[in-house]
Amino acid sequence: MKIKMCAFIPKTLGKPFKAIALPKNLINQKAFDKQAGRIVGFWLPEPYPATVFCETDNREFGDLNGTNRLCAYNNLNIDLSKTGQFQTKYGYMANLFQKKCDPSGRAFVQFAYRSLNVREMEKTPKIPYQGGGGKFAWIDRRRKYGYLQPPQFLRAEPVQYQDLVKDINENQSVIKVKSSAGYPFLEPFSPNIDFEFEISIFRLSDCYRIEINGAHNKFPCYEMYINNQPVYTFKSTDTAPNPINLTSSTSFKIVKRFFK
List, for residues 188-206, the tens digit of each pLDDT value: 778 899 999 999 999 999 9
Query: Residue 133 has what pLDDT?
Result: 45
Q: What gap in Å lies between CA 258 and CA 85, rounded to an integer? A: 18
Average pLDDT score over residue span 202-220: 96
Q: Where are the domains of the chain?
A: 3-259
Q: What gap in Å lies between CA 94 and CA 154, rounded to an integer? A: 28
Q: What does the pLDDT look like over 96-121, one tens digit per residue?
A: 999 999 999 999 888 777 776 655 55
First to last CA, the chain: 13
pLDDT range class, residue 187, cuts 50, 70, 90: confident
Residue 219 above 80 pLDDT? yes
Query: Residue 129 has what pLDDT?
Result: 42
Q: What gap in Å lies between CA 5 and CA 20, rounded to an integer? A: 31
Q: What gap in Å lies between CA 254 and CA 239, rounded to an integer? A: 26
Residue 167 above 90 pLDDT? yes
> 26: which strand partners?
none
Q: What gap in Å lies between CA 218 and CA 234, rounded to an integer? A: 9
